[in-house]
Amino acid sequence: MVKNFIKRELSSDTFKYVLLLALVVALVNYNFLSQFKQLPSPLYGGDYYNHLGSIYHIYYGGSIFENGQMLGEIQWAPWLYHSYVVILSKITGVDPLFGIIYSSLPLIFVSAIIVYLTITRFTENRLLILSVILIFLSAYPIYKYTLFAFFVTSPLMILAWFLFLEKQTQNRFIFLAIAIALAHLSSTQLFFASIILFGVIMLDLTYKNYKKSKSFAFIRSSDFIKEIIPFVKVFALGFLLSLVYWYAPLFVYKGATPNDLQIYGWPDYTKFDLQIKSITDELRGTFFAINFDKLENVVSSMISILELIGAIAIVLNRNINLFYRFVFLVLVAALIGLSHHLILFNLLHTHLAPGHLFQMMQFPLEPIEILFALIFIKERIKLDNLIKIGSSEKGIAITELLLVLLAIAFFYNHFADLEKNKGGANGPGNWVSAGRSDLSSMHKEIKSWILSDTSLSDVFLTTNEGGFMLNALSGRKVVTYRRTHAPVYSDMNQRALDAAVMLYGKNDAVRKELLRKYNVKYLLWTNDWFGHEFIVQNNQIARFFDPLMVKDKPDYRSYLDKNGVRYVEMHTSLDPYTLDVYPKYDMLVTGAITVEGSNILYPWDVGLNKYLKPVKFIGIQQQGEQIACLGECAIIYEVNVN
């Protein structure tokens, strides 16, 4: 039974050391995290702040089934991590912003326990166990649902599969079904990676029976059907449980993705060389990230080498027993996920994020790969006379000592990188230092007023970037915002078109109709409205940033023309933080610069003014009818179309 297994494992002396290790890691993390006054992420367009908007939505009473940014849409990603942060914030009494910051602390213990229960399938050596766990925990802190899937729900699902394969009891059946459901509710990519893993397991069962019978006649045999039924049932139950989120994407939207982020927000896979490059880059970054030019790179290079050796050991030892076989199948699933776009994109012109699918399976494998590498090295260099796995009487073996030192160095190096603003596992940039500074006075006042004077479902009209910011600070809704953080199931093109008509169009009847359709209650203006739409260099518009724009299609062009919205034609990408490898399109770009007579205070068409009443001035100095902006400033208007 699962209960007896866990009780036995958690009562061991080694487990006490695991908890102590997790406590030390948590304390080091707390010392680092307690310096933050905001999220270490861009307030405009940063992933962590995007999730914060969804978390505020739930925190202030919004449904987990509704989108946290826009009315009438579904959540853009599975909501398990968001719900966890909300519960943590409610229990501790902290603002959800700090709920995200400190969310890592309980998860460190959860990850440590999961990894401990997993690798004890292969060794009882205390030093190996503790060192491998320390290396795994070195990726903390985390602030995002994707990393939550990497380090919690994906490893949990792998552990549950181990237990089920070991013994198919009712308790283990239920545990695996729940683990699969939690995995599916934590990440879109883990949902698909889990399906791939299940498919690989079923194919392996089929192959095993084919080898026995030497023909496909076994498919009709009762023994084969009896063997696969428990696997089908447990996965089906996990899938059914996960429909609390996945029902709408699969059966309401039927997989349609009008906001095809997986296309425009990724390398241009119409170029076959980029399809191959995405595979080689991921493999190089995982197994061949070897750079001994600087001392600080030596430690991470050693870890990469161990992962490579471990992956080779997994392949070589795949037939030792069912545990080794399953680890091999997980690696196969990871590689299928990494390369699936070679078929899916070329057939259907879509993909499921190859790198993420790979890492959803590779991250849980990392501690096993490192462990296998050390066992593999031990066996190859014949250190049996020095090493006895599980024995504390023979002293510290050479490989164990090296691993302990490597684990400590890796942990230290990770936090040294964070202090240097390298970002560690959470990405490069100077956002660690930004997180140590407070929100600006303008942003704090915007947040304070919105939370005290508006309701959760009130809708704001503003720029894409302004909408992103105000939603991140309050969970209030917007007409449109940065499309790369919107649900793939939402028609962001129509929202961009409608927002352009409301702000920049000449057709007042349609403007009024749209303001009612979207239930717009407020308009937010900030002094960087123009800066949200384009970038100026040497007093010239160098390029567009995140304006309201759509692909150049006849029906889109006609809609803008009929409603008096001016636009310019550009060949550019849809993602503001574009890379050279991203696809580019012929675009219709609207914005304040296309509006005749617009200025910094009133960047919209004058026909909108009659519906606006200023209700909050921030950073504004008024002298009669004249107003002046003092540094950062904002005006919140109430919108009334009646």
Summarised one tens digit per residue, pLDDT across range 457-489 is 999 999 999 999 999 999 999 999 999 899 899
* Whole-number pLDDT of residue 581: 86
Q: Work out the percent of the chain whose per-residue pLDDT is above 70.
A: 90
Higher pLDDT, 257 or 502: 502
Q: Identity (one letter) of the amino acid at 141?
A: P
> Could you tell me the strand order of the sheet in which 477-478 lies?
477-478, 459-461, 520-526, 626-639, 612-623
Which pTM does this prediction carry? 0.91
What mean pLDDT, rounded, does the chain reach? 89
Eight-class DSSP state of 225: H
* Whole-number pLDDT of residue 423: 43
Higher pLDDT, 384 or 436: 436
User: What band does 413 get if pLDDT is binned at 50, 70 and 90?
Assistant: confident
* Whole-number pLDDT of residue 412: 79
The gap from C-alpha 512 to its chain's centroid, in whole angstroms, comes to: 37
Residue 298 has pLDDT above 90, yes or no: no
Dist CA 340 CA 445 (whole Å): 47
Dist CA 58 CA 53 (whole Å): 9
Dist CA 323 CA 329 (whole Å): 10
Show the DSSP H helices in 340-463 as ranges.
341-348, 354-380, 398-419, 431-435, 441-453
Residue 638 pairs in a beta bridge with 522, 613
Dist CA 24 CA 291 (whole Å): 29
Q: Work out the percent of the chain whose per-residue pLDDT is above 90.
A: 69
* Whole-number pLDDT of residue 216: 80
* Whole-number pLDDT of residue 396: 47
> Could you tell me the strand order of the sheet in which 548-551 lies?
548-551, 585-590, 568-572
Q: At what angle do helices 398-419 and 13-33 cross, to 10 degrees?
A: 20
Dist CA 482 CA 463 (whole Å): 9
- Per-residue DSSP letters for 111-159? HHHHHHHHHTTT---HHHHHHHHHHHHTT----SHHHHIIIIIHHHHHH
Q: What token pair was written down for 458?
A: 């009130």
Cis omega (within 30 of 0) for bond into 354: no
Q: What is the pLDDT of residues 546-602, one digit of tens each?
A: 999 999 999 999 999 999 999 999 998 888 776 688 999 999 999 887 767 667 888
Q: Look up tokens 């390029």; give the residue.
A: 543
Dist CA 443 CA 175 (whole Å): 45
Residue 267 has pLDDT above 70, yes or no: yes
- Asked if 490 contacts 604 with a C-beta cutoff of 8 angstroms, the reply is no
Helices (H) and strands (E) in the chain, counts: 27, 10
Eight-class DSSP state of 419: H
Dihedral, CA atoms, 362, 368, 374, 377, nearest 10 degrees? -70
- Asked if 467 contacts 481 with a C-beta cutoff of 8 angstroms, the reply is yes
The gap from C-alpha 640 to its chain's centroid, in whole angstroms, comes to: 38
Q: How far is residue 548 from each of residues 107, 492, 497, 588, measured CA to CA in Å? A: 39, 10, 7, 9
Dist CA 127 CA 471 (whole Å): 47
Rg of the Cα trace of the chain? 27
Residue 85 has pLDDT above 60, yes or no: yes
Q: How far is residue 432 from each of residues 51, 297, 416, 435, measured CA to CA in Å? A: 18, 20, 12, 5
